[in-house]
Amino acid sequence: MPVRNVKIFNGFERFWHWTQAALIFTLLFTGFRIHGVFELISFDQAVYVHTIAALSLIVLWIFAIFWHLTTGTWRHYLPTTNGLWKVARFYAWGIFKGEQHPYRKHYWRKHNPLQALSYLGLKLFLFPAIWFSGLAYLTYNYWQNGITNPLLGWVAIIHVGTAFAILAFIIIHVYLLTTGGSLAHHVMPMINGYDEVDLTETELAYLEQDEPQRLKS
């Protein structure tokens, strides 16, 4: 199949990615301050910024979910076992032996099987857990019935535990950006939208005729 530079990440997707990253790092920073890890800003400032960033992230997720559903890009996150073992073996073993990555991006499958499975888990489990536990914590005064509700402790545990799980995902994500090529090679597609993609003859003909602006000469 021909390999071409194709714009597979449009403007909203790149905006969503970087804005989400900025908001998550803001939430992690203020979250650690709220728990007393450091005192670079006041507690009240941390709570205020944390709340604003959290609500902004929820609004962003709502728009992103709507965009994924209406544009059909949700298909990129469908898990598959086809090639999953090869990709898992590459990251566990082959990458340290200098082997080539066994997966190449396709026009309608820009995430490898392990990425798709990881992103799907992030969106279906971790994000909803941090979302609903955060909202429960934020609205505590409306449901605690004037007493110390033991449920608050579980809400806090779920919220903090999920936050650390998301932090672990970010660390792994950033680490993998440093493997299998230069950092710029992995980051640039999320800046200009273009990446090397394996195209079928039908896909190439479609792009050349109907969307030539997505092909980089």
Block means of pLDDT (10 residues each) for the chain, length 217 residues?
Answer: 84 94 97 94 96 96 93 85 88 84 80 89 93 90 69 90 96 84 80 88 86 84
- Structure token digits, residue 23: 């908001």
pLDDT at 134: 93
pLDDT at 1: 63
DSSP one-letter code for 79: -
> In angstroms, how far is CA 36 from the centroid of its own chain?
27
pTM, entire model: 0.86
pLDDT at 160: 95
> In angstroms, how far is CA 101 from the centroid of its own chain?
21
pLDDT at 26: 98
Domain residue extents for the chain = 3-210
- Cβ within 8 Å of residue 130, ≥6 positions away: 159, 162, 163, 166
Q: At 106, is the secondary structure helix, strand, or coil?
A: strand
Task: Give the residue from 103, 113, 130 showing the smallest Cα distance to 196.
Answer: 103
pLDDT at 37: 94
d(C-alpha 201, C-alpha 196), whole Å: 15
- Structure token digits, residue 19: 């804005």
Count how many residues are written for the chain.
217
pLDDT at 60: 96
pLDDT at 140: 84
pLDDT at 25: 97
* Burial degree of 54 (CB within 10 A; 0-12, 13-18, 19+): buried
**3-210 is classed in which CATH architecture?**
Up-down Bundle (1.20)
Whether 6 and 216 have beta carbons less than 8 Å apart is answered as yes
pLDDT at 186: 81
pLDDT at 27: 97
- The residue ranges of DSSP E strands in the chain, in sequence order, are 3-7, 194-198, 215-216
